[in-house]
Amino acid sequence: MKLKQREKLLFIGDSITDCERQRPVGEGLFSPYGKGYVAVVDGLLQSAYPELGIRVVNMGISGNTVRDLEARWQTDVLDQKPDWLSIMIGTNDVWRQFDQPYITESHVYLDEYKRKLDRLVETTKPQVKGIVLMTPFYLEPNRSDAMRATMDLYGEAVKSIAEKHGTAFVDTQAEFDRVLEHLYPAAIAWDRVHPSMIGHVTLARAFLRGIGFDR
């Protein structure tokens, strides 16, 4: 596995990462990681690799776009001094274009998204041991659906940034597409965005494979 003894793993993202995590920093006692994939990842890491003592921190905030990540990057990422950083952002960057079509200032279009995410990765990479980039996703099997097609473009941007900087890459949409061959979207997420536990376990499994979890 890529993570080594006593390393600190920080997750940052939007509501899918947040999942009611503890404030101001998502670690400690009493369900600090929330109710989503970060908690699943922590549980599996601690149970499978108890000898490593890996420290997990959840810094997701509901509603965030890549603009919001950029604004809080110093305090919520760099000042936390993680060894490993996982980034999953883009859902709201895309979603606001569809559920708030006339509030254009809330839209984060692809060029801005790619530029800001690339800059965050570029400036952070020298300060950590590793970065995991996870794509945003939309739980719609019809790839010609407008929001699904747009989300796929943002996922492709994440992949290109991962390839450019040599980071770990997790294609969450591909993982969900596999599940969606057998389950209707509403069984995984009532709004096709916020996953049930089925979805969060899918995310956790994809992330763990991305870091070489082998137990």
Q: Which of 14, 15, 42, 171 is catalytic?
A: 15
pLDDT score recorded for residue 140: 97
Q: What mean pLDDT comes out for the span 166-178?
A: 98
Contacts of 172 (CB under 8 A, 6+ apart): 88, 134, 135, 136, 137, 155, 202, 203, 206
| 46 domain residue, yes or no | yes
- In this structure, what CATH number is given to the domain that contains residue 129? 3.40.50.1110
Q: Which helix (H) or strand (E) holds 130?
A: strand 130-134
| 131 domain residue, yes or no | yes
Compute how many other C-beta atoms are within 10 angstroms of the C-beta atom of residue 129. 15
127: pLDDT confidence band, cut at 50, 70 and 90? very high
| 55 domain residue, yes or no | yes
Alpha carbons 28 and 57: distance in angstroms, whole number: 9
- Percentage of the chain with pLDDT > 70? 100
Q: Is the pLDDT of residue 184 over 90?
A: yes
- Percentage of the chain with pLDDT > 90? 99
| 3 domain residue, yes or no | no
CA 132 vs CA 28, 29, 183, 188: distances in Å: 23, 25, 27, 24
Active site residue 214: no
Q: Select from 161, 203, 155, 197 the least CA-distant residue to 178.
A: 203
Q: Is the pLDDT of residue 38 over 90?
A: yes
Domain around 79? 8-210
| 187 domain residue, yes or no | yes
Active site residue 62: no
pLDDT score recorded for residue 215: 84
| 174 domain residue, yes or no | yes
Spatial contact of 60 and 14, defined as CB atoms under 8 Å apart: yes
Q: Which of 14, 76, 194, 200 is catalytic?
A: 194
Report the amino acid identity of residue 13: G
Q: Which of 31, 99, 160, 191 is catalytic?
A: 191
Q: Select from 71, 47, 69, 49 the least CA-distant residue to 60.
A: 69
Q: Select from 174, 157, 161, 164 the least CA-distant residue to 209.
A: 174
Please give the model's pTM, rounded to 2 decimal places.
0.96
| 110 domain residue, yes or no | yes
What's the number of domains the chain is made of? 1
pLDDT score recorded for residue 97: 98
| 2 domain residue, yes or no | no
Active site residue 196: no
Angle at 98 between CA 96 and CA 102, to 5 degrees: 75
